[in-house]
Chain A
Amino acid sequence: MTEVLLQVRAIGKRFDVGAGRFQARARASIQALSDVDLDLASGQALGLVGESGSGKSTLARILVGLEQPSKGSVRLDGVELTTLSRAAWRPFRKRIQMVFQDCAGSLDPRQSVRSALLEPYRIHGLYSARERDMRCMELLEAVGLGAEHWNRFPHELSGGQRQRVAIARALALEPQILILDEPVSALDSSMRAQILNLLIELKRRFHLACLFVAHDLFAVQALCEHIAVMYMGRIVEVAPTGALFANPLHPYTQALLSAVPFADPQVEQQRRRIVLQGEPPSPMDLPPGCAFAARCPTKHSIDARLCEGDRPLLKGCDETGLRQAACHAVVTQGSQS
Chain B
Amino acid sequence: MTLLEVRNLRLRFDTKDGPLQVLDEISFKLEAGETLAMVGESGSGKSLTALTLMGLLPPGAIIETGEVLLEGRNLLTLSARQWRSVRGRELAMVYQDANSALHPLLTVGEQLAEAILAHRKESPSEVRKACASALGEVGISAPEARLDAYPHELSGGMRQRVVIAMALLARPKVLIADEPTTAVDVTMQAQILELLEHLRAKYSMAVLLVTHDLGVVARAAQKVAVVYAGRTVELATTKELFQTPLHPYSVGLLRSAPSEAAQSMASVLAASPSQGPTQSPSQAPARLFSIPGMAPSPARMPVGCAFHPRCPFEVARCSRERPELKAWRVEVPSNMHTGLVTATSRRAACFEQERVAAAAVASRTGWHELEQLWLAKMEPRT
- C-alpha gap A279/B141 in the complex (Å): 10
Known: A217-B186, A261-B219. A222 touches B277 (CB 8 A): no
Which of B184, B258, B270, B286 has the most CB atoms of chain A within a 10 A radius of its CB?
A: B258
Known: A262-B218, A264-B262. A240 touches B193 (CB 8 A): no
Q: Which residue of B lies closest to A280 (CB)?
A: B155
Q: B279–A263 contact, CB under 8 A?
A: no
Min CB distance B291 to A, Å, is 6
Q: B264–A245 contact, CB under 8 A?
A: yes
Q: Which residue of B lies closest to A159 (CB)?
A: B42
Contacts of A42 in B (CB 8 A): none
Q: A243–B277 contact, CB under 8 A?
A: yes
**Contact of A112 with B by CB under 8 A:** no
- C-alpha gap A24/B203 in the complex (Å): 53
**Contact of B276 with A by CB under 8 A:** yes
Out of B190, B266, B283, which one reaches A262, CB within 8 Å?
Answer: B266
Q: Which residue of B lies closest to A262 (CB)?
A: B262
Contacts of A271 in B (CB 8 A): 266, 269-270
**Contact of B290 with A by CB under 8 A:** yes
Known: A193-B256, A263-B242. A275 touches B194 (CB 8 A): yes
**Contact of A190 with B by CB under 8 A:** yes
Contacts of B41 in A (CB 8 A): 188-190
- C-alpha gap A323/B217 in the complex (Å): 33
Annotate B261-288 by CB proximity to A: 1 below 8 A, 0 otherwise. Answer: 1111110111001111111111101111
Q: Which residue of B lies closest to A45 (CB)?
A: B285
Q: B282–A242 contact, CB under 8 A?
A: yes
Contacts of B282 in A (CB 8 A): 225-226, 240-243
Contacts of B259 in A (CB 8 A): 262-264
Q: A259–B258 contact, CB under 8 A?
A: no
Q: Which residue of A lies closest to B271 (CB)?
A: A272
Known: A188-B212, A200-B285. A245 touches B265 (CB 8 A): yes
Chain B interface (Cβ < 8 Å from any Cβ of A): 41-42, 141, 155-158, 184-191, 193-194, 212-220, 238-239, 242, 253-254, 256-259, 261-266, 268-270, 273-283, 285-291, 294
Known: A263-B217, A263-B259. 7 other contacts (CB 8 A): A193-B256, A197-B288, A242-B282, A243-B279, A261-B215, A261-B220, A320-B279
Chain A interface (Cβ < 8 Å from any Cβ of B): 51-52, 158, 188-194, 196-197, 200, 215-218, 221-226, 240-243, 245-247, 249, 254-268, 270-273, 275-276, 278-279, 317-318, 320, 323, 333-334, 337
Q: Which 3 A-B pairs have the closest CB atoms?
A: A261-B215, A263-B257, A262-B262
